[in-house]
Amino acid sequence: MNNENRIILEEQKNDYIFSKSKSNLNINFNRIAFIFFVFFIISVIFSIHLIHLGSRNLKNTIKIDPVESNKEFYRADIVDRNNEYLSKTISSIDIGISPSQIIDEKKLILNLRYIFPDKDYSEIKKRINKGKFFYFEKKVSDENYEKLMRLGDKSIEPRANIIRLYPQKNLFSHIIGQIDSDNNGISGLEKSLDNDLKKFSNPIRLSVDSNIQYLIRKELIEFNKIFQTKGSASLLMNIHSGEILSFVSLPDFDLNERKQIKDKNYINRVSKGSYELGSVFKPFTFAAALDMELIEPSTEFLNLPKSIKCSGFPIREYDKEIPSSLTAEEILVRSGNIGSVKIAQKIGEEKFKNFLEKIGVIGNFNFDLEEVAVYKNFSMGKCKLATAAFGHGITTTLLQLAKGYAVISNGGYDVEPKLVIRNSDKLMSEKKSILKKDVSEKLVKILRKIVTDSQGTAGLANVEGYEIAGKTGTAEQVIDGEYSKNKINTFASVFPSSKPEFVFIVMLDSPKGSPTYVYNYRNKKGSFTGTPFNTAGWTSVEVAGQIIEKIGPILATKYLQIY
């Protein structure tokens, strides 16, 4: 009995111990489950909140596609001949604030001030109080955009946009031009190519070289200061293809600022400005007579008077030391006015006018830009013939002057100046001859002597290694119908003379002599300080020589003999 009772008691004791252990296990499990459940619920709530915020940010960021949402404002890019961007359409995000969506204005201002500390927040508060949507920051950076979106504030509204950017700023302002707020071109290629820029997606490629344009513009700006000009311009063109490598008109402007230009001094001096250019016309007179077989370089003109009268006005030689008897070549080298008149009189009034129209120096002109001077037809009477023979009483643009020099130096073939490189240009390889071939051969040799001969007027342009040929032109500007003391000084050059490839023109508007500028002679030893005469030979020629010295290596390595 005792043993049985002990067994029963032991079993009861074991049962008691087991039961107690089981109860503790249940209590611990329930607590863990409860805690897990609480954390699970918190995680779910937090995740839902994150998803909500994330979806709101995604709505503001990922779904914004500036190009897709602003297709009507897209314009094709414009690049130079080396595919450097001159005009580019880029995506942009503008940040606006909708006052009606603001929950906590103080908190919003505090957050914005942290990201944009330089804003005028007194003005921001005024705009908020007006209750109307307003733009807080345009073209916001990626970094600041992310910071703003992390705020999760409904009142901050990003709006997709695309903008027209001009990476080169002032460098091509007169070529590229501007657009208005409605995405319409209002000047330059932005205007003349407006439909193509809106229609096509591939970049439009130009013939210009940004590096050459930069070097030329830099030199022109420097010499504008030296000679205190009102403005200046230059044009570099291949005489065979008509492709323009550089086209500079100063003063210029930053296209990114989109300012309305009202000052007439900002005129496009290359294709829009029309000027009397003086003696740079004399090679045309000479070329016309050569082409009509009226003269040869050796043709003599004897006993030329020192002055002649036309309608009561005298025509004189600019240089009193010019001999009375000269050959046709000597007349051009020494820039004789009277001799040029005598050559023109051999040609005749209508034939001379027809010749100038044929080579494109006067007349209507088609070009890639709409900014082209309007041609005013005129009658070529006896006095007009006499003055036009040496470049007075007749106006043209630098662009047309460049075309004329190209024709008389490229073998007599017609050429159309161009800025835009088109695929169709390759199909138009056949040249149209409009002058006898030997005209160029004879004329360029004489133009070279104007640079190399001691009697020539362009010795400062005799840059070693580049065989520059050219002609100077100094003309008084007509203001209010009368000739003034303001001058237009021009140098038209062709090089290399042994195998002409380029025409390069430099024009200075209203230059003044510099008393401190040091001239280093190129065709003889020594130097000279101070401008002795305010003529093209001492201003435009010096500028052209300095520029060609800078751009010559690029031209020699990249562009010679590639056309």
Amino acid at 226: I
What pLDDT does residue 430 have?
A: 77
| Interacting residues of 24 by C-beta distance below 8 A, sequence separation 6+ | none
Give the strands of the sheet with 244-250, arranged side by side.
244-250, 231-238, 502-509, 482-495, 469-479
Torsion of the alpha carbons at 375, 381, 387 and 388, rounded to the nearest 10: 40
Residues 181-212 as b/e (b if ≥16 CB within 10 A, e otherwise) read: eebebebbbbbbbbeebbeeeebbbbbbbbbb
CATH number at residue 201: 3.90.1310.10
Q: In sequence order, which ranges of 61-102 are alpha helices (DSSP H)?
A: 66-69
Do 254 and 188 belong to one domain?
no
In a domain, 563, yes or no: no
**Are residues 333 and 460 located together in one domain of the fold?**
yes
Q: What is the DSSP letter of 97?
A: E
Average pLDDT over residues 231-259: 95
Same domain flag for 194 and 286: no
Helix (H, G, I), strand (E, B) or coil at 478: strand
**Helix then strand then coil, % of the chain, to nearest 5:** 45, 20, 40
44 — pLDDT class (breaks 50, 70, 90): low
Instruction: Please write the tens of the pLDDT for every residue from 375-419.
Output: 989 999 999 999 999 999 999 999 999 999 999 999 999 999 999
Domain membership of residue 366 (yes or no) is yes
Mean predicted confidence (pLDDT) in 164-170: 94
Asked which of 205, 235, 269 is the last residue of a domain, the reply is: 205
Q: Verify that 201 and 266 share a domain, yes or no.
A: no
Pair 466, 410 in one domain: yes
* CA–CA gap between residue 84 and residue 205 (Å, rounded): 9
**162 and 245: one domain?**
no
DSSP run (H or E) holding 136: strand 134-137
Q: Is 170 in the same domain as 263? A: no
Q: Are residues 463 and 402 in the same domain?
A: yes
Closest by CA to 288, choosing from 223, 356, 230, 232, is 356
Angle at 119 between CA 113 and CA 123, to 5 degrees: 105
**In which domain, by residue range, is 21 found?**
1-60
Per-residue tokens: 286:
């000479």
Does one domain contain both 403 and 484? yes
Which neighbouring-strand residues pair with 249?
Answer: 233
Q: Are 283 and 134 members of one domain?
A: no
Q: Are residues 215 and 200 in the same domain?
A: no
Domain boundary among 183, 205, 227: 205
Q: How confident is the model at residue 32 (pLDDT cuts 50, 70, 90)?
A: low
pLDDT category at 515 given cuts 50, 70, 90 is very high
Q: How many domains does the chain have?
A: 3
Consecutive H or E run containing 553 = helix 540-558
Domain closes at, from 205, 231, 248: 205
Residues 304 and 182 in one domain: no
DSSP 361: S
Encoded tokens for 29: 């499990």
| The pLDDT value given to residue 36 | 63
Higher-confidence position of 442 and 141: 442
Q: Residue 289: which of 304, 301, 274, 305 has the closest Cα?
A: 301
